[in-house]
Structure 1
Amino acid sequence: MNTNPEPTVATAQRLSDAIIRVRARLRAESGQHATGLTPTQLAVLGSVVREGPVTAARLAALERVSAQSIAQSLAVLKAAGLVHSEPDARDGRKKLMSADPSAAELIDKLLRGRATFLARAIDQLVAPEERKDVDKAIELLERLAGAELDAGRI
């Protein structure tokens, strides 16, 4: 346990800044800006592609956003023809969201663009002896992303 929080706070800020810069670069390199969709709308679309057919409530839980936010994103995605809804055969009160085939193609293109950029960057900037460091960093980032923390312990 760290008894001096200052170095941890500084490290956390550096990590946050680096993640923001990497995410911005991935959006640019993947062509995400050209889609006209926001990062939130694309995240929702990706969830529909992966999880669909899926309810809006399930999407809200997956994305950790409000039902209102999901409804706004889905309205834009429907208007763009990327998703459609149909009644749930088991519960007619619910609607199931499904992705248009063009949505799956779009998400695949964006993911390929991100992966291609990162692969090129790793090949050009990371020395062979540093590859294990990259693997370790990925493991640590995955742990941080999945962390369930006590809210009061900050």
Structure 2
Amino acid sequence: MPPPPPASTPETAQRLNDAIRRLRARLRAESGQHATGLTPTQLTVLASVVREGPVTAARLAALDHVSAQSIAQSLTALKAAGLVRTEPDPSDGRKKLTSAAPSAAELIERLLAGRAAFLARAIDEAVRPEERADLDKAIALLERLARAGLDDEERI
């Protein structure tokens, strides 16, 4: 009996979207992200500040592919929580640079470690040794999908 025909591109896109959504929700739960009281958007912005800082709000918006207004709202909440601070850019006083507090770096490190630990356990539990090469191929495809349609300057 021949294998079934491949699903249409829209069906495949929907299945991929659903799988990514479920995996992201599971990663948030397993990492303890809910206990932080921060939204997923705020945590994404915070991780970008930790990784890139000191950084301008405009750069954060470009990195996270969101509006300046969204970044401003997230930064306001993060400042109120004491996780980031801003100061004038020494090279251009009209701009402000955002930096992460040490506690922010520790929080992001803890969340990322929780996610990585969950994924490692899940891979060991759900992926058979003979499927590991398939997983590596799937990861490479996901990385390509994430870069699809981006200009060279936007690829980060």
Question: Is the TM value for this pair above 0.5?
Answer: yes
| Alpha-carbon distance in 1 for matches of 2:139, 2:84 | 32
Number of positions where the alignment pairs a residue of Structure 1 with one of Structure 2 = 144
Which SS does the other structure have where 1:92 is aligned?
strand
TM-score by length of 1: 0.92
1:27-75, Cα deviation, whole Å (9 max, x unpaired): 0000000000000000000000000000011111111111111100000
Amino acid at match of 1:40: T
Q: Which runs of 4+ in 1 moved over 3 A?
A: none
Aligned to 1:23: 24
Which SS does the other structure have where 1:94 is aligned?
strand
Q: CA RMSD in A?
A: 0.9
State how 1:48-87 maps to structure 2 within 5 Å.
Answer: 48-87=49-88
| Alpha-carbon distance in 2 for matches of 1:146, 1:111 | 22
Which SS does the other structure have where 1:95 is aligned?
strand
The more displaced of 140-149 and 40-49 is 140-149
Aligned to 1:133: 134
- Report the CA distance between 1:125 and its aligned residue: 1.2
Which SS does the other structure have where 2:99 is aligned?
strand
State the identity %. 78
TM-score by length of 2: 0.90
Aligned to 2:147: 146
| Alpha-carbon distance in 1 for matches of 2:117, 2:129 | 18
Amino acid at match of 1:103: A
- Report the CA distance between 1:89 and its aligned residue: 0.5
Gaps (5+ residues) in structure 2? 1-6, 151-156
